[in-house]
Each structure stands twice: as structure tokens, then as C-alpha cells.
Amino acid sequence: MKIMPWYALLVLVVSQTAGSQPPRTTPILFEGARLIVGDGSAPLEGSAFIVENNTFTRIGKKGELRLPAGATRVDLSGKTVMPAIVDVHGHPGYRKDATFSADNYTRANLADILNRYAYYGVAAVLEAGTGRGDLPFEIRAGSQPGARLRTAFRGIAMPNAGPAPPMRDAPFGVTTEAEARRDVQELAARKVDLIKIWVDDRAGTVPKLTPPLYRAVIDEAHKHDLRVVAHVVELADAKELLRAGVDGFAHLVRDKDVDDELIGLLKQRPNVFVLPTLWGERRLIHSEKPAWLNAPMLRDTLTDGDIKQLGDSFEGAATPEAGEKARQYWRMLARTIATLNAAGVRLGLGTDTGGNNGGQYFGWASQIEMETMVSAGLTPAQVLVAATRNSAQILRLDELGTIALGKSADFIVLDANPLDDIANTRRIAKVYLRGREIDRTALKAGWAGRS
């Protein structure tokens, strides 16, 4: 038998540490926090929970759980704990600071973006149909420290008619049902998390994916146990997509109020999900600059230039006419959300961050989305369920979404209770992903050094 040199052993140890399973950690007992489980149940006051091997292994009341041997204790008295957020609609990779280009789609930029999501408490994000090459799969399978990446890889649209440039060439362009089925088969072989389709003529500028084509996509996807999420604008398209068996919507219907026929179709399909994706509508719904533009936390990840660009984007509502138009549009979207909610439709959280309407506000937008959903009339408790449990279920991320035994320890420690005021989800003291605290101080210092 050949004896291995010492440096071969070192390689062995390093490669084991770098595998997809995070290394074991000593048990930690967290005591005293108000615990929001994420399933809509009443919060547990004065909680205690134990995290061991990166998962929740005990949950109870303070004083009931004994400190395991070798464990450390973390006092969370006065704090609130909620599950980490899941964002089901993003387009990471193209934005880098103020630039927007396919050249930015690199491993380093994707890793930085996943850190930005993590900084604001997001545990996972779906790349919604704009993936390129092997990177999304390599990152999904890897063990980089930020938010988890899930991917629809390349979505499906008519040729050159999906998302606007520079993402336009990412999706498959299809003109026949045979092509559509072949593309779905390729996506199934790569084990995508969802299939994204665009059913939108971009105000008459591009051809819209036709019903025979999306029926073929949906039928082929379901044969492979894959679900299809649609970018949609018009009520008539949403109805036809539901009749074709679509599994979710990446946006609200935005051309008119929803009607009883749509709600009837949704009630027949209780698993269909809807992402309001209000962040993507922010320039159309705000009649004045939002107050959160002044939040110091915005400066943790963004440069002054980024923030000025964001602020300037709200100038369009400066005239009285534009302001009134924005108010009317916002009231229509709020009515739609209220109608969907009253009908028991499953709502999730999406932002479109990284895309044309989403900008470079990774993670921050996921935070603001929750506040906007409350402004639309949902309760903070409903929004927290949508942003955690529902969104994790939509992505079939069984280890995320709630604080429960056996789940991955992905949670946010807050200085104030978001059930009192949803904006308190931004009063972040700590973020834990996979049982480990995110070093937010180091991340912030890195971003500050760049500007």
C-alpha cells in the first residue's frame, strides 16, 4: 500500500469541507425571542430553539430546553425571529452596479448578488428564465455562502420576443409545438426548478406566445413533473393559460380588474400560485418618492449613484396627471390582490430584481415587496406567510419556509416585531442561513470599499 504524502491529506480535508453538505457545527441554544413560525400561527413568545448540524432540532419555551453538552447560548430577549425570505422572481447576473449587460453574467457577479440577497434576509431566489451556460447549475449544486440559487434556466417565448435586452437572447425562441416540446425535454434533462414562459406582446412590439405553443409547453412540462410559471399582462391570456393548465403567474393581471370568471378558474386549481411582483410596478404605482429611499440600510449595499438612479426613476409621477394615473393603477392592483386573497389564492413573493423593471436592488426589493403587499391590503401575517412558507413551497424547497423541526436553520433576527409594522422586517440584527450567521459587517465593508 502506498503511503499518501501529507499534502494529499490536506487536499482531502479541504475538498470534504467544500462539498455541498455544510460542515457540522456545535449546537446553539437561542433563547428569549418572539418566534414567528411562518405558517400563520400565533407567534411563540419567550421561545427557545436549538440549532444543531445546521437544522432546528428542538423548539419550545425558554427554560424548557436544556443546554446540550458543548452548546453555546445566544440570548435573543426582546428580539423577534422569522424564517428567511424566499424570492420566486429574479434575474440575477446581468446587473452589476449601474451596468446592465450579458457580459456581467459571471460566477463572481452571481456570487456577489446572492450575498446581497442574503444580507437582507433572503435564503433563496429563483432565476426566472434568463440563465446562461452551465453557471446556474454549478452554483445551484455548489456551496457558496449566500442565498440559494434556483433556476428556470432558459424560459420559452416566441423568437426574440421574451424579456427585453440584454436578456432577450436567454430564452428559447419557438415557432412549432415540436420545438416547444423539445425545449421542455432539454430543460427537464437539466432538472430546472420551474419552466418560465412569456405571454406578452410588449404593447404590440413583439409576437405573443400562442395558445397552441404554450399548451404544448405545459403538457410536456407536466409529463416531466415540471410546473410552468407565466409572465402575463392581460386578463384574457391569464384565463386561457389557466384552461391550458398553467401552474403559476409571475405577475398580476395588469390590463384591467380581474373578474368572476378568472376567480372561478383559479378556485378550480388551488395549487396555482400568483406572485404580485409589485416591486416591478414601482415606477407606475408610486405617485411620489417613497419614504424608504432615505433608509440608511439602502446605503449598505448601494452606491450614492445607484440610489440617485432609483430616486430619479420616481420623477415620472411629478405631474398631477401622472400622479393620478399612478393612483388609479395602484388602486386597481390593490383591488386585484384583495380579490385574489379573499378567494384563497396562494400568493408568493416575487420582485423581478435584476430584470428591466427590477433594477440592481437585490434583496432590498424583496424587503420592500412585503411592505407594498401590506399597503395593498394584506395583513402583515398574511404577507409573512406568502414570503416564507408559500414561496418555499412554490420552489419545492422543503427545508425552507418555516421554523420547524428538521428544517434548515435559515432565519432573521429582528429588533422589532413585523406583525406590528411590516417595515420592521428591515430592522435586521442578524441573518442565519444553513445554521450559520451571515457576516453582514464584512459584506457591508466590502460593498462600501467599492463605491
C-alpha span between 209 and 156 (Å, rounded): 9
CB of 280 to Zn ion, least distance (A): 7
CB of 5 to Zn ion, least distance (A): 51
284: amino acid identity, one letter: L
Out of 112, 200, 247, 352, the residue judged to bind Zn ion by CB under 5 A:
352
Contacting range for Zn ion; rule: CB under 5 A; set: 12-20, 68-76, 127-135, 433-441 = 127-135
Contacting range for Zn ion; rule: CB under 5 A; set: 306-314, 349-357, 360-368, 417-425 = 349-357
Question: 229 or 397, CB closer to Zn ion?
Answer: 229
**Chain residues 22-61 in contact with Zn ion, contact rule CB under 5 A:** none
CB of 216 to Zn ion, least distance (A): 22
CB of 388 to Zn ion, least distance (A): 21
Instruction: Check if the beta carbon of residue 296 is closer than 8 Å to that of residue 304.
Output: no
If we measure between CA atoms, which residue out of 267, 248, 301, 285 comes closest to residue 118? 301
Question: 113 or 431, CB closer to Zn ion?
Answer: 113
C-alpha span between 306 and 310 (Å, rounded): 6
Q: How far from each other are the two terminal CA atoms of the chain, in whole angstroms?
A: 56
Q: Residue 212: which H helix or E strand, with range?
A: helix 211-223
Contacting range for Zn ion; rule: CB under 5 A; set: 53-61, 126-134, 208-216, 327-335 = 126-134
CB of 360 to Zn ion, least distance (A): 14
Q: Are strands 428-433 and 436-437 parallel, antiparallel or unpaired?
A: antiparallel
Scanning 256-319, the segments in alpha helix (DSSP H) are 260-268, 282-285, 298-301, 304-312
CB of 253 to Zn ion, least distance (A): 15
Q: Are strands 172-173 and 148-151 parallel, antiparallel or unpaired?
A: unpaired
162 binds Zn ion (CB under 5 A): no
355 binds Zn ion (CB under 5 A): yes
Instruction: Check if the beta carbon of residue 434 is closer than 8 Å to that of residue 411.
Output: no
C-alpha span between 269 and 264 (Å, rounded): 9
CB of 322 to Zn ion, least distance (A): 24
Contacting range for Zn ion; rule: CB under 5 A; set: 11-19, 120-128, 207-215, 364-372 = 120-128
C-alpha cell at 336: 386585484
300 binds Zn ion (CB under 5 A): no
Question: 200 or 352, CB closer to Zn ion?
Answer: 352
Q: Is 89 helix (H, G, I), strand (E, B) or coil?
A: strand
Q: Work out the number of other CB atoms within 10 angstroms of the CB of residue 55.
A: 17
Interface size with Zn ion, residues (CB under 5 A): 3
Question: 91 or 434, CB closer to Zn ion?
Answer: 91
Note the residues at the interface with Zn ion (CB under 5 A).
128, 352, 355
